Amino acid sequence: MKPHILAVAAIAALAFSTTAPAQTGEDGDTGQSLHGVDTSESIDPAAPAATNLFYFVPASAFNRKSNTTGVTYANAGCVRMDSTSTNGGSVTTDLQLPQGASIQGVRFYYADTTASDFVRLALTSFDGLGGYTNLVMGDSPAKVGFGETYLDLDPVAVVDNMSRSYALQAYRYASSSDVKFCGARVFYTIP
């Protein structure tokens, strides 16, 4: 009986002490990439690594902004924004970050099958009285395929939940519905 208990204990100890080998991404990076996408914005040698945080929202979690926008799930968290308007539809989601967090930038993901089409992303703050400020806004490059675009906030935006609310908004500027919005990742630091 005792050898059986010792064998079980040895196997359990081995299972808990074994570490998984480091996973290497497509770009040869270990742990600092997401599907081969450069995440260099997360490295700040002047700040402790524990203060750098990300808030990732898949496009499937966004809501349409108007009743003229149809949102169709495309696959892998991506959506197609269809609209009766000329330029296409738009989607939005609220952004819940801790009070005092410093928003450093936002990276958004997309898939495009037509080189002349693009996706626009805006990080917007609202004052609750009808006023708003686009803290950063940018477009995807007009190229075919899956891609990502990083928008740097300069100066950084400090979250003030007492007087402002925050949202991510994506717009489709396309002649067809083949452009897909796939999500956004906000890079922020906490004090």
Domain ranges of the chain: 49-189
Using alpha carbons only, what angle is made at residue 182 by residues 177 and 184, rounded to the nearest 5 degrees? 135
Superfamily of domain 49-189 in the CATH hierarchy: Galactose-binding domain-like (2.60.120.260)
With a cut of 90, say whether residue 2 has pLDDT above it: no
- CA dist 137 and 131 (Å) reads 17
Closest to 102 (Cα-Cα) out of 44, 184, 57, 37: 44
The pLDDT assigned to 112 comes to 81
**Could you tell me what percent of the chain has a pLDDT over 90?**
41
Residue 176: predicted pLDDT: 62
Banded pLDDT at 125 (limits 50, 70, 90):
very high
What number of CA atoms fall less than 13 Å from residue 53's CA on the CB side? 13
pLDDT at 158: 96
pLDDT band at 38 (very low <50, low <70, confident <90, very high): very low
Task: Kindly report the pTM of this predicted structure.
Answer: 0.69
> For the residues 119-128, what does the mean pLDDT come to?
94
| Average pLDDT score over residue span 49-76 | 82
- Bridge partners, residue 180, by sequence: 80, 111
Band (pLDDT 50/70/90 cuts) for residue 188 is very high
Buried (b) or exposed (e) across 65-104, using 16+ Cβ within 10 A?
A: beeebebeebeebbbbbbbeeeebbbbbbebebeeebbbb
pLDDT, greater one: 44 or 6 = 44
